[in-house]
Structure 1
Amino acid sequence: MIPTYNESLASAQKEYNNLNDQYNRMGLLRLLVMGGIIALVYCLIQEPSLIMAVASLLAIVSFLLLVVRHKKISTLRAIAKAKIRINEQEIDFLTHHTFFADNGKAFEEDNHPYAYDLDILGERSLYQYINRTHTFLGRKLLAERLLHPSTDEIIHTQAQIQALTPDLNWRQTFMAYAQQIDDSEDFYTKLHQWANAPAKRLSKLTRVFIILSPILLVISLLLGYVGNFEGATLIAKVLISVHLLVFFFFIGRITQEKLGFERTYAILYAFKECIAQVERRFPDKNKQASSHIAQLSRLLDDLDSVANILVSIPLNILTFYHLHRYGSLLQWKALHGGEVTQWLESVADTEVLCSFANFSYNHPEFAYPTLNQEYKVTFEGVGHPLIRKEERITNDIALSEQAFVLLTGSNMSGKSTFLRTLGVNMLLTLVGLPVCARKAVVHPLRLLASMRLSDSLSDGKSYFFAEINRIQQIVDTLQRERCFVLLDEVLRGTNSEDKQHGTIKIIEKLLSLKALGVLATHDIEVCNLTNHYPELLQNKCFESEISKGELTFDYKLRDGVCKNKNATFLMKKLGIIEE
C-alpha cells in the first residue's frame, strides 16, 4: 500500500504546486485590474465619455470574474493540500504505526458491555485505528457503529465497503473536502433547533409591498430630482421614511432568525461540496441536496451584513434587499427544514464508510467473514488487528457444538490478548469489516465481556462489586438472547475456594443459557468441568518455556490444560524470593 500512497502524495504535491502558482498569478492579476479600475474611474470623472464608461464597466466585470476564479483556485489548492496531509499520515501510519486520528474518548459510555475491556475507544484504540472522519457527526456516528452495531446491515455494509475500497482517489477527494468543515456539536444543535422551528412566511401583502414600493420610490426620485416634480419629491421622502420604519420593524426578526449562525454559511458551503461528492458517487442519494444547501449558505451569507447599518440602511431603503433574502430564507426553511439534518448526516455516513474502506484498503490480507445462522464461530489464523503484522501471532479456534472454551496459561502467556483478539474480530464482523484472519465463519452475536474493571471508589463500589454487577448484566442479556461472551479470571476479589466454586457455577450458568465464548482462568481445577460437559466445553491453553535460565513464550494456542507456571521462576530471577 505504501507505494500507492507515495504515488498519490507525489500527484497531490504536483497539483498543489500548480494551483499555488495559479493562485499567486491570479492574485497579481486582480491587483493590476483593480489598479486599472481606479485609473479608468478617475478618467471617467475627469472627462466623462461613453467609451470610458463602457471600459470601466468591463474592467469591473473582469475583476468580479477574477474574484470568483481566484476563490475557486483557493478551494482547489486547499483540497490538494489536504490530500498531501492525508497521504503523509497514511504513510506514517503504515510505516511507524502512528495513530493520528481522534481517539473517540469523548463518546465513552459508562458501564458499556465491552468497550473498556476491548480498548474500543481512547488512546491507541480500535476507534482511533479505524477513524478517518473529520466532522463531529462523523466521529459520533463511528462511535455509535462500534458501540452499538446492527447485525441487520452486515451484508449490505460489506458490499458497500468492498465497492469503495479500490476507489482511493475518490475517497481521498471526499475526505479532503470533509476536512474543510469546521463544525462543532453546538453548530448541529443550533441548526437542528432552527430547522425544526415553525417557519412563518412573510404575508402576501408584505411580499407585494417590498416589490412594488421600491419601484415607486425609484420612479419618484427620478421624477422629483431629475424631472423637478415637487409632488414626486414629497412622495419619495414619505416612501424613504416608510421604508426605514419597515426595515427597523423587521431587523429584529431577521437578527433573531439568523442568531447564532455567524460564519455558518462557510460551514454549510463546505458541506455542500461534500454532498456534491456523495451525489456524484451515489446518484441515488440526496438528489439536489447540494444545491439546496448551497442556497441556504448564500442566504445566510447575504443576511450576515444586516447588522452593518452603513450598508443595510441605504440598501434596504432602495430595494428591501435583506427583507427579500429573509423571505427567501423563511421559504427555504418551510420547504427543506425537515431534511437538512438528514443531508448533513449523509456526509457523516459517507465519512464512516470511507474510514471502513480505508481500513480494508490498508489490510488486503484481512478476510471478510462468511456469515451463518448455526451458532458457529470459526477463525483460522486469527490475530489482533492493532498488532503490527511482523509482530502478530495468529491462532485457530472453532466454537460450535463445543460452544465454550476454558483457557489456561501462565502469566504473560497471551490469554488476555487472545480474548481481546476474539472480541475485536467479532466486533469487526458486526460492523461489516474484514477481520484479521486468514478465514472466518461467524454467526453474528451480541458481544459481552468482563475482562478489565476498575474500582469505583468515588461511587463507594469495590472491584468485586463492579465485577458481580457486570456478570449479572451478562446473565440478564443471555436470558434474552444467545451471545458471544469473553471472561478473564472472574471473581478475583474473593478467596480461592469461594472463587473456584463461584467460577464453576458461573460456567454452568453460561452453558445453561447457551452462551458461546471463552473464559480464561488460572485455576486448573476449574478445567475438570470439561469432564462433566464434554459436548459443550473444551480446554485450550498457552504455554511458557524455561530454557537456559530464560522464560520464553510462543503465544500459540494448544489443546488441553496449561502445565507450566512462571510466577515463582520470575520472582527468583528478580531476587524477590530465594531458592
Structure 2
Amino acid sequence: LVARTRTTSGEGLLARWLLRPADRADAIARQAAVTELRRKLDLREEIALLGEDIRSGVKTQSITGWGAAPDVVFHPALRSLCLVLSVSGAVFLIGFFANWLPLWPLLVIVACNFVLMFALRTRVSSILAGVESSGRDLTILSLMVKRLEMEEFESDRLRLLSANLEISGLTASRRIAKLGRLIEFLDSSDHILVRAVRPLILWNEQLAMALEAWRRESGRHVGGWIGTMAEFEALSSLASIAFERPQWSFPKLTECSSGEFHAEALQHPLLAPAECVPNDVSLGDGARLLIVSGSNMSGKSTLLRSIGLNAVLAWAGAPVAAANLTISPLHVGASIRVTDSLQEHRSRFFAEITRIRQIVDLTHRGPPVLFLLDELLSGTNSHDRRVGAAGIVHGLLKAGAIGLVTTHDLALTNLDEDETVGISNVHFEDRIVNGEMRFDYKLRPGVVQRSNALELMRAVGLEV
C-alpha cells in the first residue's frame, strides 16, 4: 500500500519516515506536498516508469560516494603541458601528412607523451574506472531529474525540492548532460581511428582531467540531487495512498505534550473498505488507558494494529484511515505478535517481557509513548499476570504514556478501580445465531460479559 518507491535511496527514506515520527512542522509540510502530488497522477506515473530503469541496476550509494570522493589533483602546469602536447601532436601529425613538416618533431612529441602517460597512469585509470560505473548510473538518473525540473509546484516543500536541482543558475540535468558528453567521448576510445591517435593527443589523459574537473565542480551536489529524488519518491508514495483512498483524511497534528489520540470512524489501513467496521477511539486527558476485553476473533488485535498503523501514517505526513484523527507527537511501542525462539533459547513469555522492557525504555526519551499490548502476560499464571500487569501499566502511565491493553483475563479489567490514572474498560462481543458465532466488531463501553472459547472448541470437534 505504501511502498511505491523505485530507488534504494527512496525506499530507505520512506522507511525512516515510517520508523521515526517527524516533527510537527515537517509533517504538516509533507501533508501539503502530498495533497498537491495527489492531483499530479501523470507526473507520478512518469517518475515511477523512469524509476524502474533505475531500480534494475543503479547503485545510488555508490554514486553519492563517487561524487564526494577526495579530488584527484593535477597541477595546473601539468594540465597546461598536456594541452600543449596534445595540440602540438595534432598539428605536427597534420603537417607531416601534408608534407609541411618533417617526422622527427612528431616522434619527439610521441616520446614525451609516452613518458607523461606512464607518469599519470595510476591517476587516469582510477578516474576512468569510477566514471565507468557511477558516472553512467548518474546519466540514467538524469532522466528523472529532468522530468522534475520541468514541473511547476505550489507547495513550499515541493518548490524547495525543485530549487535544490539548480546550482548557480545551472540545472542538475544540464550538469549531468555535460558529464554524459564526456562519457560518450570515453566510449569512443576503442574506435580504430581514435586508438590510432590516442597516444599522440593524450586522449585518455585529457578526458580524465575533464571528468575530474566536472566531479570537482559538481560532484559535491550529487548526494543532494539523489536526496531530492528520494524525497520526491517518498512523497509520491504517500500521495498514491491519498489518491487511491479518497475517503481517508489528513490528521490534525497537535503539540499536546501529554499525549492524545482521538479518532472518529477509525479503520485498519490494510483492510478493504467494504470489510472495515469503523470505531471511535479516544485517548488523552479523559482516559489514558483502554483495557479491551472480548472473545476470541472479535477484533481486539485488529484494533491495536489499526491504532498503531494510523499513528505511524499520521506522523509520516500521510492521510489516515479515519473520518477524523487528532493526534499529538507519539512514539508507537507495540507488543502484538511475539513468538518464542528455539535457536535463541527464548520462551514466548521471555520474548514478551523483553519487548515490554523496550517499550518502557522508550518512555525515557522523546515524546510520549503510545503503547499497544496484546494479551498482556498471557504466558504466566493468573496471580503473576495480575500483579505484573498492574505494575507495568501503572509504570507506563506514570511515565506519561497512553495506550491500550487487550486481555482474555477478566481480572485485569479491575485495573480501572484506581480512578486517579484514567483507565477505562471497553469490549468487543459476539452473538450466537443459528448455532454460528457472529461478530459485529463494534467497540462498546464496559467489560465483556461472556466468552466464546468453549463454543470455538466444540466447533472444531473437541469434546468439552
The alpha-carbon distance between structure 1 residues 168 and 403, as it changes in their structure 2 partners (threshold 3 A), is same
Residues 245-264 of structure 1: per-residue CA shift (max 9 Å, x gap): 43344344322223255354
Partner residue of 1:478?
363
Shift of 1:291: 1.8
Give secondary structure in 1 for the equivalent of 2:54.
Answer: coil
8 Å contact kept, 1:407–1:541:
yes
1:537 Cα offset (Å): 0.7
Structure 2 counterpart of 1:423 = 308
- 1:161-310 map, 5 Å: 161-182=34-55, 187-227=59-99, 229=101, 232-259=102-129, 261-281=131-151, 282=159, 283-287=162-166, 288-304=171-187, 306=189, 308=190, 310=192
Aligned to 1:399: 283
Confirm or deny that 1:370 pairs with 2:252: yes
Deviation at 1:320, TM superposition (A): 2.4
Out of 152-161 and 206-215, give the one that drifted further: 206-215
Q: How does 1:314-353 map to 2 (within 5 A)?
A: 314-353=196-235
CA distance in 2, matches of 1:348, 1:218: 46
Q: How far did residue 464 of structure 1 move? A: 1.7
**CA separation in 2, counterparts of 1:265 and 1:336?**
12
Q: Distance in 2 between matches of 1:296 and 1:221?
A: 29
**Change in 2 beyond 3 A, CA 1:516/1:228:** closer
Q: Which amino acid aligns with 2:342?
A: L
**Matched residue of 2:4: which SS?**
coil
* Structure (1 or 2) with the greater helix fraction: 1
**Superimposed CA distance per residue, residues 503-561 of structure 1 (whole angstroms, 9 cap, x where no aligned partner):** 12212222222211111011111112212226601111000111221111111100011
TM-score after normalising by structure 1: 0.73
Pair 1:454–1:314, CA change in 2 (3 A): same
Q: AA paired with 2:235? A: L
Q: Distance in 1 between matches of 2:398 and 2:421?
A: 13
Question: Which of 386, 403, 424 is the equivalent residue of 2:270?
Answer: 386
* Secondary structure at the counterpart of residue 280 of structure 2: strand
Q: CA deviation at 1:228?
A: 5.9
Distance in 2 (alpha carbons) for counterparts of 1:531 and 1:439: 31
3-state SS, counterpart of residue 334 of structure 2: strand
Check conservation: 1:299, 1:329, Cα contact below 8 A. Answer: yes
Give the corresponding residue for 1:67. none
Q: Return the letter of the residue paired with 2:362.
A: T
Task: Rate the CA distance shift 1:300–1:455 in 2: closer, same or farther, 3 A.
Answer: farther
State the Cα distance separating 1:137 from its structure 2 match. Answer: 1.0
Kept in 2, the 8 Å contact 1:258–1:300? The answer is no
Cα pair distance change 1:295/1:454, threshold 3 Å: farther
Aligned CA distance change for structure 1 residues 535 and 210 (closer, same or farther; 3 Å): closer
**Of 423, 426, 436, which aligns to 2:321?**
436
TM-fit CA distance, 1:501: 1.8
Q: Deviations over 1:290-348 (max 9, x none)?
A: 22223233334433455x48565423234323222211111122222222112112111
Q: CA RMSD in A?
A: 2.2
Contact 1:367-1:437 at 8 Å conserved across structures = yes
Q: CA deviation at 1:273?
A: 1.5
Contact 1:379–1:398 (8 Å) recurs in 2: yes
8 A contact 1:181–1:270 mirrored in 2: yes
Amino acid of the structure 2 residue aligned with 1:467: E
SS at match of 2:132: coil
Q: Which runs of 5+ in 1 are unaligned?
A: 1-128
* Structure 2 gap ranges (5+): 152-158
Paired AA for residue 177 in structure 2 = A
CA deviation profile, 1:217-246 (whole Å, cap 9, x unmatched): 3433344443365xx211112222332443
CA distance in 2, matches of 1:260, 1:327: 13
In 2: Cα distance, 1:141 partner to 1:296 partner: 27
In structure 2, relative to structure 1, the CA distance for the partners of 1:511 and 1:264 (3 Å cut) is closer
TM-score by length of 2: 0.90
CA 1:218–1:534 in 2, change beyond 3 Å: closer, same or farther?
Answer: closer
Q: 1:365 to 1:422 in 2, by over 3 A?
A: same
- Measure, in 2, the Cα distance between the counterparts of 1:405 and 1:392: 21
Give the partner amino acid of 2:299: G
Please tell me the residue identity of whatever aligns with 2:12. Answer: K
The alignment partner of 1:546 has SS state of strand
Higher relative contact order (CA 8 A, sep 6+): 2
Pairwise CA distance, 1:487: 0.5
The aligned residue for residue 31 of structure 1 is: none
3-state SS, counterpart of residue 430 of structure 1: helix
CA-CA distance at 1:169 after TM superposition: 1.4
Deviations 1:449-504 (A, max 9, x none): 11111223322222222211221221222233421111101212211221122112
Contact 1:453 1:466 in 2 (8 A): yes
Which residue type is aligned with residue 416 of structure 1? S
| Percentage identity across paired residues of the two chains | 31
CA contact (8 A) 1:183 1:267 kept: no
